[in-house]
Amino acid sequence: MKQRVVLGLSGGVDSAVAAYVLKQQGYEVIGVFMRNWDSSLNNDILGNPTNNDDICPQEKDYNDAKKVAEHLGIELRRVDFIKEYWDHVFTYFLEEYAKGRTPNPDILCNKHIKFKAFLDYARSIEADYIATGHYARVEHHEGADSVMLRGVDSNKDQTYFLCQLNQSQLQSSLFPIGHMTKPEVRKLAEDLKLPVAHKKDSTGICFIGERDFREFLKNYIPAKAGKMVDIETNQVVGQHQGIMYYTIGQRKGLGIGGAGDAWFVVGKKYDENILYVCQGDQNQWLMSEGALITDVNWISSQKPQGDYDCTAKFRYRQKDNDVSIRFIDETTLFVTFKQPVKAVTPGQAAVFYDGDVCLGGGTIEKVYKDDKEITYL
């Protein structure tokens, strides 16, 4: 009998090509369109550019997924995870923003929806694997750990967002296009005359889409304007619209003029609603030398003992940074940077690598310089 794979079919080109590859590899493929967001139910009004559209983007995506399924001759099902998304992804997302931190919803979405709720559904219909259109690779080894590798296309590699997958999830997962580059995926889609061959990639918040972010957050968190202060002089240099709207290292949208270098967000004093800024993209106030990482998911069943050298990314698309890590307990580690790193931000993810192997990742809890916690973050 063919092995059964349940594929997340989103209506985009990546998952469409993934479906074709799986069929060519001899699997029985069942496509599932995941519906995780309901704009009317979730009060998604302010900042939503699609409120007056005749058909919402999610329904357009579903229609595209149906066309792909028909074109490839596979079954398509539609499954709702709206409650799971709200409870496990969006609630945490709002809580972190309300604290002035900057969470990553894509990582949470993968952990709790695509590789938990979706995987549970796949197991309920006796699937052998789930698959997605992520640009990542996985090596399965009989009787041993599965290993996650970066996607071949370094510009599209998405292992950063998959850092919270555990062994059980990874051993049940396939990434059919991880060995391909994006241009190769587009070319194959064109050759196959897939109806989504030229469809633009989705952007915005995971499963929600493009939003005017400041307006969108106002649906759930009241905005409170406050002072923008130069951290070097302690002088007020402007007004912010709400510290939740800004992230460490941000340059655009500050509205500060005047002479000298560009201004950057360098910190937040949450209790006093102050946003700290500095001038110059290499300013010492932007730099740090270490961080405490919590909620660490280590993909291998064996954690390193003592100090361990590897590389780390502290945000997506950042270059690899040489670091040394040491586990403090099962889910907490301290990371020491070999060179100072700019704009390491509490709430965001730190993801660790050994060459192409993604080792795992966690949440940046505290940031350090000169062996002291940077409290203005």
Shared domain for 52 and 81, answered yes or no, is yes
Helix (H, G, I), strand (E, B) or coil at 142: coil
* d(C-alpha 21, C-alpha 200), whole Å: 20
DSSP 8-state symbol, 109: H
Residue 176: which of 129, 240, 241 has the closest Cα? 129
Sheet holding 226-230, edge to edge: 236-240, 226-230, 274-279, 263-269
pLDDT at 55: 78
Amino acid identity for residue 44 in this structure? D
Shared domain for 57 and 107, answered yes or no, is yes
Active site residue 109: yes
Catalytic: which of 109, 278, 310, 358?
109
Shared domain for 116 and 208, answered yes or no, is yes
Strand partners, 369: 372
240 belongs to a structural domain: yes
CA torsion angle 120 121 127 130 (round to 10): -70
321 belongs to a structural domain: yes
Which CATH number fits the domain that encloses residue 136? 3.40.50.620
* Structural domain harbouring 230: 223-279
Shared domain for 209 and 275, answered yes or no, is no
- Tens digits of residue pLDDT in 65-91: 999 999 999 999 999 999 999 999 999
Cβ–Cβ under 8 Å, residues 166 and 139: no
Cβ–Cβ under 8 Å, residues 26 and 190: no
pLDDT at 174: 98
Amino acid identity for residue 61 in this structure? D
Which CATH number fits the domain that encloses residue 259? 2.30.30.280
Rg (CA), the chain: 22
* d(C-alpha 113, C-alpha 110), whole Å: 6
318 belongs to a structural domain: yes
Which CATH number fits the domain that encloses residue 364? 2.40.30.10
218 belongs to a structural domain: no
Shared domain for 181 and 228, answered yes or no, is no
- Tens digits of residue pLDDT in 159-214: 999 999 999 999 999 999 999 999 999 999 999 999 999 999 887 777 777 888 88
Amino acid identity for residue 108 in this structure? L
17 belongs to a structural domain: yes
Count of CB atoms situated within 10 Å of the CB of 83: 12
158 belongs to a structural domain: yes
Shared domain for 23 and 86, answered yes or no, is yes
Active site residue 56: no
Cβ–Cβ under 8 Å, residues 300 and 145: yes
pLDDT at 49: 83
Residues 6 or more apart in contact with residue 80 via CB below 8 angstroms: 34, 35, 36
Cβ–Cβ under 8 Å, residues 219 and 259: no
Distances (CA, A) of 158 to 148, 356, 371: 11, 12, 32
Catalytic: which of 56, 163, 206, 278?
206
Shared domain for 191 and 152, answered yes or no, is yes
* d(C-alpha 174, C-alpha 98), whole Å: 36
Count of CB atoms situated within 10 Å of the CB of 80: 14
Shared domain for 196 and 111, answered yes or no, is yes
* Mean pLDDT by groups of 10 residues along the chain of 377 residues: 94 97 97 91 86 79 96 97 94 90 90 96 97 97 95 97 96 98 98 95 78 88 93 95 92 87 93 94 95 97 96 95 97 98 96 98 96 89
Shared domain for 147 and 232, answered yes or no, is no
Choosing from 175, 192, 213, the residue where a domain stops is 213
pLDDT at 100: 84
Shared domain for 51 and 186, answered yes or no, is yes
Number of domains in the chain: 3
Shared domain for 322 and 174, answered yes or no, is no
86 belongs to a structural domain: yes
Amino acid identity for residue 121 in this structure? Y
Q: Residues 244-266, buried b or exposed e (16+ Cβ, 10 A)?
A: bbbbbbbeeebeeeeeeeebbbb
Choosing from 163, 184, 213, the residue where a domain stops is 213
Choosing from 213, 248, 265, the residue where a domain stops is 213
Question: Strand (E) positions, 87-153?
Answer: 129-131, 136-139, 147-150
Q: Which residue's structure tokens are 């789930």? A: 130
Question: Strand (E) positions, the chain?
Answer: 4-8, 28-35, 75-80, 129-131, 136-139, 147-150, 173-174, 226-230, 236-240, 263-269, 274-279, 287-298, 308-313, 321-329, 332-342, 349-354, 357-369, 372-373
Cβ–Cβ under 8 Å, residues 299 and 359: yes
pLDDT at 58: 83
121 belongs to a structural domain: yes
Give one DSSP letter per residue of 159-203, joined into a string. GGGGTT--HHHHHTEE-TTTTS-HHHHHHHHHHTT-TTTTPPPP-
Shared domain for 206 and 313, answered yes or no, is no
